[in-house]
Structures are given as C-alpha cells and as structure tokens.
C-alpha cells in the first residue's frame, strides 16, 4: 500500500510560514499605536494587545532610544485590559520623530510604531501648546466666551462675553481705544453684569461707536483679556447683523391714499441710514422723479406716487438689504386694491381742494369792540376764497343792508368793511361777517358794546354812596 502528495510552491510557502510562526511567535495587537491630546496639553500614546502573559515586557522607544519613566515621560501597562500607554506633559520641537512600543512575551514579540513628523507634528504641537495655555488661563478669572456681539429685536447692539472662576475681589475693567471707562463716565451706564455674563449696551449704533473694546479680568490668581474690534470688518459685521434684524422686522407692504396720490409703505422696528433699500415696479427698478419718489420717515419706508394713472398699476416690490441676499416684500396694486386706493385719492384730492379754496375770514376783525356813544365805528375784515366769496353782514343774526346808518363795502374781493357813522346804544350787539363760495361758508363774529360816559359816571357815583 502506498500514497502520495504533491507539494506545490504555494503549499510549501504556507508550511514555511506556519513553521516560522511556531518558531518565532508574534504578539497580536487589537489596536495599533494611536495618539490623543488631553487636558493641560498632555499627549497620550497608546495601544492594546489582544492577549499577553504576566511576563510580557515593554520597551518605550523614541528614534531608537529607549525611554525611561521620569519627569517628561510616564508609562503604564494594564495587563488586565492589554492597554499600553505613555504620557508626555507637553510636546516640544525635539519630540518630532518615531515612537515605538517593543513587546517581548517569552518567545513572542510585537512592535507598533507611530511616525509623528512634518505638518502633522507641528499641528499637534500647536494644539498641545494651546491646551496648556488654556489650562493655565482657567486657573484664574477667565473668559468662558470671548467678547462678541448681538443685535436685539429692538435693534440695540450689545457687546457681550461670559466669564468664569471670578471672585468678589476680581477686577473687571472695560476700555475703549485703550482708555478705561471709569465709573463716572457716561459710557459706564451701558455696562451690565448678570450672573456670568458681561454686556456693554451700545444701543442704536453709529460711526462714533466704532473702536477697539477691551475687557480685563484680574486678581491674585491671574488675569485674562478679551478684545473686540468694532472697526472695519468688525463694524461691517455688526451692521450686517443689524440689517438682518431690521429687514426681518419689515411688515408686508400697505397702501395709503392721500390728496396727492398713493403711498406704498412698509414699517420696520428701526431704520439705519446705511441700510440699502430699493423699490421695483413690475420687477424693474424705479427711478426717482418728481412724480414718483421714495424715502424714509421714522420707521416707515415709503414709495409715493403722485397723481397716479393707469400706468401705475401692477406689482410693487421693496428690496431690503439684510447683510446677504436681501428680503423682499411684494404688493399687487391692481384689481380691487387699485380701485379702492384710486377712489380714495380722488375723494381726498377733492376735499383738499375744497379746504384750500373755501371762503374764509382770515383777519382784521376783533373779538370785542367797546366804543363811546356818538363816535364813528369802522371795521374791515380780510377775506379769501377761490372763487371770490360773496359777503354779507349780520347783527343779532339779522342781515344788514347798506344805508345811511350802516355803510357796507367790499373791495377787490379781499376787503369787506362796515362803517357806523354815529353809534348809539342801539348799535350794541353781536355782529358777523359772513363769507360764502361753492366750497364753504364761514363767519367772522364780534361783539360791539356802546357806552355813555355820563351814565357810566352816574352809576359809579351811586355805587360809592
């Protein structure tokens, strides 16, 4: 009986690998070497083996030099979990290179390495230095959130920051352009503090508020500083946020008719002079003219169309810059909206014409006239109206006619006069100049009181007895 087996080249290589692994066993790793950045800027290099015995030994190597436990390095091998780690308090320029963990467990060996060079090393070193500095900073009073800004719904600009680890004795100092804001300064009223938040309420911002703002924290444990550059790009960033709040506060377009025409308008919480606003008619930009003009009054953004015609019908759009693309409000001035607005315009125009041109007494007459019996009385009232008013005079609500006692004249459509040549007590009473045209009627009323000196003197003597 015989048997045979053909050993191929591939099979031979596999047997050789098995023989090698038996002769030179390898410690398996669950994780190759990794790196972590910890608090205080400390660096952790670590790996984990799948299995090992209590006899397993580790050499910690940097650039072929074995490292030892000390001030710079600390090592740990937790055999229960298989985690091997090495810590460095900081990462220095001399730490650029290759880190290796060499393991020996009886006949078995294992190696894992991490190459930390070039940009990767410099980036990690920069982060380590930052974390170290941050930890030192936070041992004293410090900023949890650095100085920034916010715009309220009322369009007030706030500079704000959050602070931590402060004590009653911690000094908090604000400054603008390197000049401290003292307690008796006007700007000191803008400073606020609630819990761990500091604020500086600029209010409605203008160019005079531009500058460099600093907040300083200081006590025996340390100090910290935060700066906000409300200049150039910083100032524009604040304005863009303000424009966003304003644009979003805008109302839908409303329509208002006046004696002059039709006004389209949108109201906002607040308007800043630097905010760009545009009006469009049928998606075309409206050019300003004497008949069509736009503007801002308080918080109202308006477009005024004087003496509107059929050509002014259509879609109107107001475009408000919001710091980015813009916000649009649209109103369709056609159909019933146009009919109602145009009808109201015509009504108000007619009423305004009537009010401007109605007959009226514009001056010249006193409220009361006291005159001695036997004297001559002459009064002239200034009248106006278009067309020229008709005039008449009344005494005690009865119309007067021009005769030998009452002389009534009306000259140039402007001056209406009454003359009483010799007044008597019978001429006392309530008089009125009445003016009238097609737009209205008005009365200029006055009182005439005629007295006799002798009778008045006699009455006073009787009172004295």
**pLDDT, tens digit (0-9, with 9 covering 90-100), for 265-302:** 999 999 999 999 999 999 999 988 999 999 999 999 99
Question: CA geometry: angle at 221 spanning 219 and 225, to 5°?
Answer: 60
Domains in the chain: boundaries: 21-132, 140-230, 247-355, 360-453
Residue 24: its pLDDT value, please?
63
CA distance 106 to 18: 18
Beta bridge partners of 46: 34, 85
Does domain 247-355 match CATH 2.60.40.10?
yes
Query: Is it the case that residue 72 has pLDDT exceeding 70?
Result: yes
The fraction of the chain above a pLDDT of 90, given in percent, is 89
CA distance 152 to 233: 20
Task: For the chain, give the number of residues.
Answer: 465
Residue 3: its pLDDT value, please?
55
Task: Report residue 147's pLDDT band, with 50, 70 and 90 as the boundaries.
Answer: very high
Give all strands (DSSP E) within 204-326, no chain letters.
211-219, 222-230, 254-257, 261-267, 277-281, 284-285, 292-297, 300-306, 314-320
Q: Is 81 exposed, middle or buried (0-12, 13-18, 19+ CB in 10 A)?
A: exposed
**The whole model's pTM is what?**
0.71
Q: What is the overall mean pLDDT for the chain?
A: 92
Six-digit token pair at 364?
């010249």
Residue 454: its pLDDT value, please?
75
CATH H-level, domain 360-453: superfamily = Immunoglobulins (2.60.40.10)
Query: Is it the case that residue 180 has pLDDT exceeding 70?
Result: yes
Residue 13: its pLDDT value, please?
60
CA distance 16 to 20: 6
Residue 325: its pLDDT value, please?
87
Residue 461: its pLDDT value, please?
60
Average pLDDT over residues 165-177: 96
Query: Is it the case that residue 1 has pLDDT exceeding 90?
Result: no
- Domain 140-230 has what CATH class? mainly beta
Residue 288: its pLDDT value, please?
87
Is there a shared CATH topology between the 140-230 domain and the 247-355 domain? yes
Query: Is it the case that residue 125 has pLDDT exceeding 80?
Result: yes
Is 154 in contact with 299 (CB distance < 8 Å)? no
CA distance 363 to 444: 9
CA distance 99 to 96: 9
Residue 20: its pLDDT value, please?
42
Residue (of 75, 48, 40) closest to 60 by Cα position = 75
Q: Quick count: other Cβ atoms within 10 Å of Cβ 306? A: 16
Query: Is it the case that residue 19 has pLDDT exceeding 50?
Result: no
The CATH T-level fold of domain 21-132 is Immunoglobulin-like (2.60.40)
Query: Is it the case that residue 216 has pLDDT exceeding 50?
Result: yes
Average pLDDT over residues 424-436: 95
Residue 140: its pLDDT value, please?
95
Question: CA geometry: angle at 203 spanning 199 and 205, to 5°?
Answer: 115
For the stretch 224-239, pLDDT in tens is 999 999 999 999 999 9
Query: Is it the case that residue 253 has pLDDT exceeding 50?
Result: yes
Could you tell me which residues come within 8 angstroms of residue 463 by beta carbon, excluding any fewer than 6 positions away? none
Dihedral sign from CA coordinates of 338, 340, 341, 346: positive
Task: Report residue 200's pLDDT band, with 50, 70 and 90 as the boundaries.
Answer: very high
Could you tell me which residues come within 8 angstroms of residue 19 by beta carbon, excluding any fewer than 6 positions away? none
Task: Report residue 178's pLDDT band, with 50, 70 and 90 as the boundaries.
Answer: very high
Average pLDDT over residues 219-223: 95
Residue (of 143, 152, 115) closest to 224 by Cα position = 143
Residue 414: its pLDDT value, please?
94
Query: Is it the case that residue 363 has pLDDT exceeding 80?
Result: yes
Query: Is it the case that residue 346 has pLDDT exceeding 60?
Result: yes
The fraction of the chain above a pLDDT of 70, given in percent, is 93
């Amino acid at each position: 009986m015989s048997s045979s087996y053909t050993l191929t080249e591939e099979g031979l290589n596999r047997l050789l690998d098995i023989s090698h692994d038996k002769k030179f066993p390898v410690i398996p790793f669950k994780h190759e070497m990794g790196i972590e950045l910890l608090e205080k800027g400390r660096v952790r290099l670590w790996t984990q083996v799948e299995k090992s015995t209590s006899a397993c030994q580790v050499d910690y190597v940097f650039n072929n030099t074995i490292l030892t436990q000390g001030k710079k390095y600390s090592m740990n091998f937790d055999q229960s979990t298989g985690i091997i780690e090495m810590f460095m308090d900081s990462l220095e320029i001399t730490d650029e290179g290759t880190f290796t963990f060499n393991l020996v467990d009886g006949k078995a060996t294992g190696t894992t390495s991490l190459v930390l060079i070039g940009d990767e090393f410099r980036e990690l070193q920069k982060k380590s230095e930052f974390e170290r500095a941050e930890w030192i900073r936070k041992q004293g009073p410090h900023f949890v959130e650095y100085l920034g800004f916010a715009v309220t719904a009322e369009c007030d600009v706030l500079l704000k920051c959050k602070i931590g680890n402060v004590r009653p004795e911690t000094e908090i100092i604000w400054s603008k352009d390197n000049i401290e804001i003292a307690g008796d300064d006007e700007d000191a009223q803008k400073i606020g503090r609630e819990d761990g938040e500091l604020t500086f309420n600029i209010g409605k911002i203008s160019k005079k508020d531009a500058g460099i703002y600093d907040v300083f924290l200081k006590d025996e444990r340390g100090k910290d500083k935060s700066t906000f550059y409300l200049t150039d790009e910083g100032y524009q960033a604040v304005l863009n946020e303000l424009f966003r709040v304003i644009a979003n506060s805008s109302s839908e377009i409303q329509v208002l008719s006046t004696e002059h025409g039709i006004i389209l308008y949108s109201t906002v919480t607040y308007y800043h002079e630097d905010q760009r606003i545009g009006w469009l008619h049928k998606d075309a930009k409206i050019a300003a003219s004497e008949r069509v003009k736009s503007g801002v009054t308080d918080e109202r953004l308006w477009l005024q169309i004087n003496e509107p015609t059929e050509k002014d019908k259509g879609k109107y759009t107001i475009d408000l810059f919001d710091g980015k693309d813009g916000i649009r409000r649209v109103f369709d001035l056609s159909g019933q909206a146009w009919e109602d607005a145009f009808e109201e315009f015509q009504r108000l125009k007619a009423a305004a014409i009537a009010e401007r041109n109605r007959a009226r007494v514009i001056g010249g007459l006193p409220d009361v006239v006291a005159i001695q019996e036997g004297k001559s009385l002459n009064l002239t009232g200034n009248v106006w109206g278009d067309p020229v008013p008709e005039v008449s005079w009344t005494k005690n609500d009865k119309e007067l006619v021009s005769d030998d006692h009452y002389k009534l004249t009306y000259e140039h459509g402007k001056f209406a006069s009454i003359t009483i040549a010799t007044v008597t007590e019978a001429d006392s009473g309530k008089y009125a100049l009445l003016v009238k045209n097609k737009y209205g009627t008005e009365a200029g009323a006055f009182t005439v009181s005629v007295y006799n000196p002798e009778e008045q003197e006699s009455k006073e003597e009787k009172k004295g007895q």
